[in-house]
């Protein structure tokens, strides 16, 4: 049990003392660790529950802990964040196998900066005004071209909506589709979008996977009116949705009138074999909402995502939104970047870089006998089924102590009961080959 010395005579309040001590403790503690309960801690330290509550409250408000209903208070993972709000005392992360990163070192900084300077020097004051609520028309034309070339999807620019991140687009979809509808999400699945939907006030139906994709039978049974899916690279299992599953999903949409929210993230990074067509390209009934982001192909800090709405929803979108959340200067920089062919060249280059990293990761994991890496044909993370005898629950804390950040597969499910689940996610978009090797070696030392 965590303990500390509190001085009731100090000029610093008991709450402040406790807060400082807990914060220091958290700095030494692995993410996901359960903290002592308020009552336990109050009894143990001979202070009031209110004092403990206030100290925990501050830690929670700072994002260092989170309270999970009926489970207790846990040190946060801030799992899908690239950067964590690191406190002075927190364990430094030397190797980050988190997902969701884009490689800042390979970002075509010089080109992006040159284009933005160009935009600035043109002194077009139009970018200072509120533009089209869906984003600038000429940028949407470039995105339509990109979709055609990269994914074989033909959409009119009028159907495209630009937004500051997938989360803000997902939030906008809730009233568009209807808050009374039940939203199915993959379980395990992408927790950030799940959280946004819940905040949006809809009921969600966490739906199990069948052969790596959302179980369409369960979808029928749930009575869902919309389904959020990641067909190119299911998050987090990494599976690609087969053609039969795609057809079944579209059939579900056609028969029930449901909407499919197709998050096509990572589709640009396909390493082997043939890439399945996007659901949007197969859709004839106007029931697929296609979503994608430039966070992975460029950088998450630029806050650039887009979606393609069925015709029936565009008018509603324009009624609800008078503004676009992406600044004018940035829109124009992105337009030049796509029009100049820089984005596609960057993606092609990164495909080579990432494929090579994937090979290093697979080879090293095998050589170190860390466990089995699931075969991976697309996307920027793989699954590793860890061998050895270390208890499953210890995998993440032990890695953290060794300076390695990663997550277990079961952390992404709504049900976190699988305490013996030994599968971890290894994202390789944020580290170069040497760092990947070092990180895996650190894991070897930590786990074996």
Site string for its own copies, 130-159 (x = CB under 8 A): xxxx------------------------x-
Under the criterion CB under 8 A, does residue 68 sit at the interface with its own copies? no
* Residue numbers 225-254 binding its own copies by CB under 8 A: none
Q: Which of 322, 389, 417, 434 binds its own copies (CB under 8 A)?
A: 322
* DSSP-assigned beta bridge partners for residue 67: 73
Under the criterion CB under 8 A, does residue 105 sit at the interface with its own copies? yes
Contact between 56 and 116 (Cβ < 8 Å):
no
What is the spatial distance between Cα 358 and Cα 353, in angstroms, rounded to a whole number? 9
Under the criterion CB under 8 A, does residue 50 sit at the interface with its own copies? no
Residues 6+ apart with CB under 8 A from 66: 60, 73, 74, 76
Kindly state the smallest distance separating residue 193's Cβ from its own copies, in Å: 10
Local structure of residue 174 (DSSP, 8 states): H
Q: Name the region of 192 (left: φ>0; alpha: ψ -120 to 50; beta: rest).
A: alpha
Under the criterion CB under 8 A, does residue 344 sit at the interface with its own copies? no
Kindly state the smallest distance separating residue 224's Cβ from its own copies, in Å: 18
Structure tokens at 87: 């406190």
What is the spatial distance between Cα 251 and Cα 241, in angstroms, rounded to a whole number? 15
Q: Among all chains, which residue has been given the structure tokens 């290894």?
A: 426
Q: Which of 19, 95, 97, 127 binds its own copies (CB under 8 A)?
A: 127
Kindly state the smallest distance separating residue 307's Cβ from its own copies, in Å: 15
What is the spatial distance between Cα 208 and Cα 269, in angstroms, rounded to a whole number? 25
The whole-angstrom distance between residue 148's C-alpha and the CA centroid of its chain comes to 25
Under the criterion CB under 8 A, does residue 120 sit at the interface with its own copies? yes
Q: Which of 320, 352, 367, 415 binds its own copies (CB under 8 A)?
A: 320
Kindly state the smallest distance separating residue 334's Cβ from its own copies, in Å: 11
Number of neighbouring beta carbons within 10 Å of residue 329:
14
Q: Which of 34, 39, 117, 363 binds its own copies (CB under 8 A)?
A: 117
Structure tokens at 291: 């979503």
Under the criterion CB under 8 A, does residue 60 sit at the interface with its own copies? yes
Identify which of residues 196 and 214 has a Cβ nearer to its own copies in the complex: 196
Q: Which of 93, 116, 368, 442 binds its own copies (CB under 8 A)?
A: 116
Residues 6+ apart with CB under 8 A from 373: 361, 362, 365, 366, 382, 383, 384, 385, 426
Contact between 159 and 310 (Cβ < 8 Å):
yes
φ, ψ dihedrals at 284, nearest 5°: -110, -15
Part in contact with its own copies (CB under 8 A); list of ranges 7-15, 32-40, 164-172, 237-245: 164-172
Q: Which of 48, 71, 89, 199 binds its own copies (CB under 8 A)?
A: 199
Write out the residues near its own copies by the rule CB under 8 A. 57, 60-63, 66, 78, 80-83, 85, 100-102, 104-105, 107, 109, 113, 116-117, 120-121, 123, 125-133, 158, 164-165, 167-168, 171, 174-175, 179, 192, 195-196, 199-201, 299-303, 311, 314-315, 318-330
């Amino acid at each position: 049990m965590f303990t500390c010395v509190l001085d009731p005579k100090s000029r610093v309040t008991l709450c402040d003392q406790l807060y400082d001590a807990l914060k220091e403790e958290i700095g030494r503690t692995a993410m996901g660790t359960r903290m002592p309960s308020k009552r336990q801690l109050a009894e143990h330290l001979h202070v009031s529950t209110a004092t403990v509550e206030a100290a925990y409250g501050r830690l929670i408000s700072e994002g260092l802990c989170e309270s999970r209903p009926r489970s207790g208070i846990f040190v946060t993972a801030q799992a899908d964040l690239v950067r964590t709000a690191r406190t002075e005392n927190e364990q430094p992360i030397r190797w980050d196998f988190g997902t969701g990163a884009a490689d800042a070192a390979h970002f075509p900084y010089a080109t992006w900066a040159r284009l933005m300077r160009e935009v600035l020097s043109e002194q077009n004051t139009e970018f200072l005004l509120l533009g089209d609520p869906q984003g600038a028309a000429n940028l949407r034309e470039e995105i339509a071209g990109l979709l055609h070339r990269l994914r074989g999807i033909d959409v009119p620019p009028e159907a495209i909506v630009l937004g500051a991140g997938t989360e803000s687009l997902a939030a906008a979809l809730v009233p568009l589709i209807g808050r009374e509808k039940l939203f199915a999400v993959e379980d395990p699945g992408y927790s950030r979008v799940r959280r946004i939907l819940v905040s949006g006030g809809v009921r969600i139906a966490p739906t199990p996977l069948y052969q790596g994709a959302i179980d369409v039978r369960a979808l029928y049974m749930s009575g869902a009116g919309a389904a959020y899916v990641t067909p190119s690279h299911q998050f987090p299992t990494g599976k690609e949705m087969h053609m039969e599953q795609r057809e079944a999903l579209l059939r579900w949409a056609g028969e029930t009138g449901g909407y499919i929210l197709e998050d096509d993230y990572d589709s640009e990074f396909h390493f082997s074999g043939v890439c399945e067509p996007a659901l949007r390209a197969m859709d004839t009934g106007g029931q697929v909402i296609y979503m994608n982001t430039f966070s992975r192909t460029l950088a998450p800090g630029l806050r650039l995502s887009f979606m393609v709405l069925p015709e029936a929803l565009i008018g509603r979108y324009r009624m609800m939104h008078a503004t676009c959340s992406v600044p004018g200067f940035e829109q124009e920089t992105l337009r030049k970047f796509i029009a100049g062919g820089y984005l596609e060249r960057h993606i092609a280059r990164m495909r080579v870089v990432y494929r090579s990293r994937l090979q290093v990761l697979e080879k090293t994991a095998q050589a170190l006998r860390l466990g089995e890496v699931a075969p991976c044909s697309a996307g920027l993370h793989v699954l590793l089924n860890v061998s050895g005898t270390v208890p499953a629950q210890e995998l993440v804390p032990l890695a953290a102590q060794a300076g390695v950040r990663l997550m277990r597969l079961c952390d992404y499910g709504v049900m976190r009961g699988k305490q013996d689940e030994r599968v971890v996610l290894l994202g390789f978009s944020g580290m170069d080959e040497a760092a990947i090797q070092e990180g895996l070696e650190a894991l070897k030392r930590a786990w074996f």
